[in-house]
Chains A and B, each alone.
Chain A
């Protein structure tokens, strides 16, 4: 097939491409491109594995997969906080803050859920396939 006159010139003479391709060929090219765009959108931008994003002060400290069992120690302005990750959920396990609001928040399980420790300037946010909202009113 590649020896046929229609295709033998294809690589050496790109300018002829437009003339040589028939409507059906164009449809195949377009369908291919469309397929790639759709695959990119579903497989790349929407992460299937949910993650937890830890922020310290005004910086993103780290982002971890939730598919693991792990303890993370983050050093904030008033001391070290311990964050637990356990198979799809995350929480403040220990915090040096006075009121322990962050620890009392308990496990975060769904995308968009967040826990903030104001005194120690650490926040957790679960990231999912889509962000349910732009900002949280509380």
Chain B
């Protein structure tokens, strides 16, 4: 009888406690949520803490406007100061050089719609502040900032040095750094032998393995309601990213001005509420899934309705969803079967 009871107790306890470690922290200027499945709690905690520390360091180094401490600019801040002063090359960290080379390539691929060189424009709209609010829109200033044509192609990278051929270039890696951090964390956790984890940095998510015997399940935020609109299962190595007009915005005279700026016009995009992309694992030498999930949603968000599919194709994105300013939903053919709608009355149009 005793021998019969032991498996029953094991069965009972396994019903209640699954080996899932979950932590939430505010680093990287946003909410970071890490789940690790199948590791002892203490080990999971120490690994998650290491990841969070590395995120904080990366955040400080790459911050577009905040110095690390008084008189000590971030690496990006230092680089921007050099760009503005003239074309003297300065040496940069090897990993930053890799990031910039990658961002340059992606910017060219997107025909400049993903453009981390428009820091001055983002600043002019007031988004380079922790507490931003409605700004007085200076059309003349915006025009001159656009006409200065800051581009990633102006940045010259040689042997871990960088300079810019255009003084108007000001780097803001806000649309790249979270994706980079996702890839970094995924690689780190895999190297330490973690088989199953889910990392969420400010809404951008990458999956390792799965949640027990099921895939990791993600909720996709409704752009105008405090709820998820659909769920999607994220297989091993996949990443998901959303660009939305509801994350950073201000309203002025009843109009919404979001932080996603069309580099061609210099004005915030107003025809789209949200774009979500699902990205499969990429080949080792290519841009990784985390970065792609962060970057690829932007050009699709910025492009007009008829060009959105082309913008997706430029990055080889097959799975994406668009919600336009009227709340109409468009889903790519490949994505349709992956989405589980959370309410029964959702209407959508299949595209591509």
Name A's B-contacting residues (CB within 8 A): 14, 17-18, 33, 37, 40-41, 44-45, 55, 57-58, 98-99, 101, 105-108, 110, 112-116, 118-119, 121, 123, 132-138
Contacts and interface: CB of A to CB of B under 8 A. Distances in A.
Interface in B266-286: 276
Nearest to A15: B1
B11 A37 contact: yes
B219 A135 contact: yes
B24 A123 contact: yes
B23 A134 contact: no
Contacts of A98: 131-133
Give the interface centre of A41, A55, A58, A116 by most chain B CB atoms within 10 Å: A58
Contact of A108 (B11, B218, B226, B250): B226
A138 B247 contact: yes
B119 interface: no
B31 A118 contact: yes
Interface in B161-206: 198, 200, 202-205
Contact of B26 (A113, A114, A115, A118): A118
Nearest to A92: B226
Contact of B15 (A18, A37, A135): A37
Interface stretch (B103-111, B148-156, B238-246): B238-246
Nearest to A55: B24
Interface string B16-44: 10000001111001110101000000000
A58 B242 contact: no
B87 interface: no
Given A45-B15, A55-B24, A58-B24, 14 more contacts: A58-B25, A101-B246, A112-B227, A112-B228, A115-B226, A118-B30, A134-B211, A134-B216, A135-B198, A135-B200, A135-B216, A137-B200, A137-B220, A138-B242
B81 interface: no
B237 to A, nearest CB: 16
B231 interface: yes
Interface residues of B, number: 45
Interface of B is mostly: strand
Contact of A133 (B11, B12, B217, B241): B217
Nearest to B1: A17
Contacts of B306: none
A138 B227 CA distance: 10
B130 interface: yes
B227 A133 contact: no
A81 to B, nearest CB: 14
Contacts of B200: 135-137
Interface of B: 1, 8, 11-12, 15-16, 23-26, 29-31, 33, 35, 130-133, 198, 200, 202-205, 211, 216-221, 226-228, 231, 240-242, 244, 246-247, 250, 276, 342
A108 to B, nearest CB: 6
A115 to B, nearest CB: 5
Contacts of B202: 138
B133 A138 contact: no
Given A57-B25, A99-B133, A116-B31, A41 B15 contact: yes
Contact of A45 (B16, B24, B30): B16
Nearest to A14: B1
Contact of B241 (A41, A44, A57, A137): A137
Nearest to B241: A137
A138 B221 contact: yes
Contacts of A118: 26, 29-31
B53 to A, nearest CB: 13
B216 A57 contact: no
A136 B226 contact: no
Contacts of B11: 37
Contacts of A133: 217-219, 228, 231
A40 B25 contact: no
19 contacts: A14-B1, A58-B26, A99-B250, A106-B226, A112-B227, A112-B228, A113-B228, A115-B226, A118-B26, A118-B29, A118-B31, A135-B216, A135-B218, A135-B219, A136-B200, A136-B221, A137-B218, A137-B220, A137-B221
